[in-house]
A and B are shown apart, each in its own frame.
Chain A
């Protein structure tokens, strides 16, 4: 029986874990003080040594990202990406709701490392309780002098502005987030320039995910070696795995990376609902390619293994589907999301994703023909890599993986032999 490894969720079940008093009782802000006693370069070196990789989806090494910042700069910004909105993904909410001070402490540490005096936290608009919790926590931190002109007694000013989004998935894309923060439509920017060169308000900017920053207090307090004691060599640390769909007990679990998917689903989630057989698993949020039951049961949950299995760990939002799932319907539902959320800036995405969604819906309703399957593949290939950001790739990957791995169901549907049912 596998157990959770509590690194970032260590104090989340404490009473008043969301308050400053609760956080302080459990050693909160000790790590930030430690960071201020170190040179910024030493903090970055420690984080590099820990091997911490970004938790937003791409898994890019955190310390390395920080070191890309342009050397000559007057102002540096940190943007915290709390615009969690990918179907299947619901991990950052836990941190924002239950331990916002852990995040603020992580922000202080990152600010020290990159010499930032003003961090902006961009939170998705639908999150009401998480917004109130992080806003109240920031107010507490200001009152206690942890934020403000002499942050945590460091002699350095650090401000934190909580900026609320207003309903647009694309603002989770880092340059879309920057545009939104600047008061524009959240449409992504062409790179280069990269944000570390010219980001928010034209200044060098680092954008980090909530969960990434929540790892920093442990790394500062316990050191890189203790951090690397969890997880695998190339994927150190833990991950917050959010499991949804057809399992007995959906939920959020913190596990050392490298744990078998089988253990997550069978031990922690109580197995597939109602004793049904597993059919498919989306391992890392809705844009990561789907795995068949066999592939999923053989994979371990770290960046490399999931990639070797032909998918991605992404945001670690695990969506489980049992044998009753109609895969045509499931993809239809999934792609409707992308069609709704395309920002409309690039023609291949604006037109292509909607075309895909319409074609799929036609197939799901039993009105499609064989040529529609080819059209779907053509469209998915046509939009991939041909737009400013990776949104179109994120929409194309599920299409191509569902079509290749569950081909039979799609073919049955276009030949008129398919059944109609619930996803």
Chain B
């Protein structure tokens, strides 16, 4: 990360501090709080910056290196600045059997990017994911926190158009 991108050291909000204290009482060792506290950091700061990793490490009595090892082991912690729409298309077998590849290809075409990339305006990011456990409603995608199920090209188009207008 270049110096220009380096962000200021974040601090916990007062309310988050209370949530952390409540968590502290729930785990016999503070390392147990690491994943929950990382989730709180992501909620409050939008992503897990290197500085946020230091803050989490301090809060949970861990080393920044250990926190880094977690953030990179698990797939759901964002190590890049947040984006408006993170589209994750499931490519598991059940979804593939019902047309997930066509859905992915269509989104790639509409957004002009390949999976794994962001649009130039910084509003869309497209990822492929392995199984969202919604196999009976395949094909499925998750956009930010919401599942969109039983997808068709027409449904995807309607959604994209709505989001592009914003």
Q: Could you tell me which A residues sit within 8 Å of B by CB distance?
A: 84-90, 93, 118, 124-129, 159, 161, 163-169, 180-186, 201, 242-246, 250-252, 282, 286, 317, 319, 321, 325, 330, 333-334, 336-337, 340-341, 343, 422-423
Instruction: Looking at the assembled complex, report how far the CB atom of A409 sits from the nearest CB atom of chain B, in whole angstroms.
Output: 16
Q: A183-B34, A201-B32, A244-B136 known; A87 and B131 CB under 8 Å?
A: yes
Given contacts A319-B97, A337-B92, contact A183 B135 (CB under 8 A): no
B36 near A164 with CB under 8 A, answer yes
> Do B134 and A90 touch across chains, with their CB atoms under 8 A apart?
yes
B136-A252 in contact (CB<8A): yes
Please tell me which one of the listed residues B32, B101, B136 contacts residue A250 in the complex, with CB atoms under 8 A apart.
Answer: B136
25 contacts between A and B (CB under 8 A): A87-B92, A88-B92, A88-B135, A89-B133, A90-B133, A126-B129, A126-B142, A128-B145, A166-B38, A166-B39, A166-B75, A166-B77, A182-B31, A183-B62, A185-B69, A185-B73, A186-B74, A242-B135, A242-B136, A244-B135, A244-B136, A317-B135, A325-B97, A337-B93, A340-B130
User: Which of B26, B69, B93, B132 is A126 in contact with, Cβ under 8 Å?
Assistant: B132
The answer to whether the Cβ of B106 comes within 8 Å of any Cβ in the partner chain is no
Interchain CA distance A184-B74 in the complex, whole Å: 10
A339 to B28, CA, bound (A): 34
Chain B hits for A182, CB < 8 A: 29, 31-32
Chain B positions within 8 Å of A90 at CB level: 133-136
CB distance from A338 to the nearest CB of B (A): 9
Q: Which residue of A lies closest to B91 (CB)?
A: A333
A106 to chain B, nearest CB (A): 20
Query: Nearest 10 A-B pairs (CB), nearest first?
Result: A167-B75, A183-B31, A183-B34, A244-B135, A166-B74, A167-B76, A244-B94, A250-B136, A87-B92, A185-B73
Known contacts A86-B131, A128-B145, A163-B36, A244 near B97 by CB under 8 Å: yes
Task: Select A243's contact among B70, B74, B136, B147, beta carbons within 8 Å.
Answer: B136
CB <8 Å contact, B32 and A85: no
Measured between beta carbons, the chain A residues less than 8 angstroms from B130 are 87, 169, 336-337, 340-341
B-side contacts of A319, CB under 8 Å = 93-94, 97, 135
- What is the CA–CA distance of A95 and B60 in the complex, to the nearest angstrom? 32
Write the B86-99 contact mask toward A (1 if CB under 8 angstroms, else 0). Answer: 00000111101111
Check B93–A163 contact: CB distance below 8 A: no
Asked if residues A250 and B34 are in contact (CB atoms below 8 Å), the reply is no
In the complex, A167 Cα to B31 Cα: how many Å? 18
A167 contacts across to B, CB distance below 8 A: 74-76
Asked if B2 lies at the interface with its beta carbon under 8 angstroms from chain A, I say: no
Q: List 20 other contacts, CB 8 Å, given A244-B97, A333-B93.
A: A85-B133, A87-B92, A88-B94, A88-B135, A89-B133, A128-B146, A161-B27, A163-B35, A166-B35, A167-B76, A201-B28, A201-B32, A242-B136, A245-B135, A250-B136, A319-B135, A337-B131, A341-B130, A343-B73, A422-B99
Residues of A within 8 A of B53 (CB): none
A423 pairs with B135, CB closer than 8 A: no
Contact A330 B93 (CB under 8 A): yes
Residues of A within 8 A of B107 (CB): none
Rounded to whole angstroms, the CA-CA distance of A342 and B115 in the bound complex is 21
CA distance A186 to B35 in the complex (A): 11
Q: How far is the CB of B147 from chain A (nearest CB, A)?
A: 8
Q: Do B74 and A125 have beta carbons less than 8 Å apart?
A: yes
Contacting A161 at CB < 8 Å: which of B26, B31, B75?
A: B26
Interchain CA distance A169-B135 in the complex, whole Å = 16
When the two chains form their complex, are residues B94 and A183 in contact, meaning their CB atoms are under 8 A apart? Answer: no
Cβ contacts under 8 Å, A333 to chain B: 91-93, 96
Question: Is there a chain A Cβ closer than 8 Å to B103's Cβ?
Answer: no
Cβ contact of B137, chosen from A87, A250, A321, cutoff 8 A? A250
With A and B bound together, what is the CA distance between A319 and B138 in angstroms? 12
Question: A128 CA to B88 CA in the complex, in Å?
Answer: 14
CA distance A161 to B31 in the complex (A): 15
CB closest chain-B residue, reference A243: B136
Q: What is the chain A residue whose CB lies nearest that of B33? A: A183
Residue of chain A at shortest CB distance from B145: A128
Interchain CA distance A97-B74 in the complex, whole Å: 24
Q: Which residues of the partner chain B approach A201 to less than 8 Å between Cβ atoms?
A: 28-29, 32
Interface string of B6-39 (1 = CB under 8 A from A): 0000000000000000000011110111111011
How far apart sit A108 and B55, CA to CA, in the bound complex (Å)? 36
Smallest CB separation, B70 vs chain A (Å): 7
CB distance from B140 to the nearest CB of A (A): 10
Q: Which residues of A contact B33 (CB under 8 A)?
A: 183
Residues in B neighbouring A166, C-beta threshold 8 A: 35, 38-39, 70, 74-77
- CA–CA, A63 to B101, complex, Å? 44
Closest B residue to A83 by beta carbon equals B133
Quote the shortest CB–CB distance from A111 to chain B (angstroms): 15
Known: A126-B76, A340-B130, A423-B93. Contact between A165 and B35, CB under 8 A? Answer: yes
User: Whole-angstrom distance from the CB of A16 to the nearest CB of chain B?
Assistant: 21
Verify B135–A126 contact, CB threshold 8 A: no
Once the chains bind, are A164 and B35 in contact (CB under 8 Å)?
yes
Chain A hits for B35, CB < 8 A? 163-166, 180-181, 183
* Nearest neighbor of A124 in chain B, beta-carbon distance: B133
A86 contacts across to B, CB distance below 8 A: 131
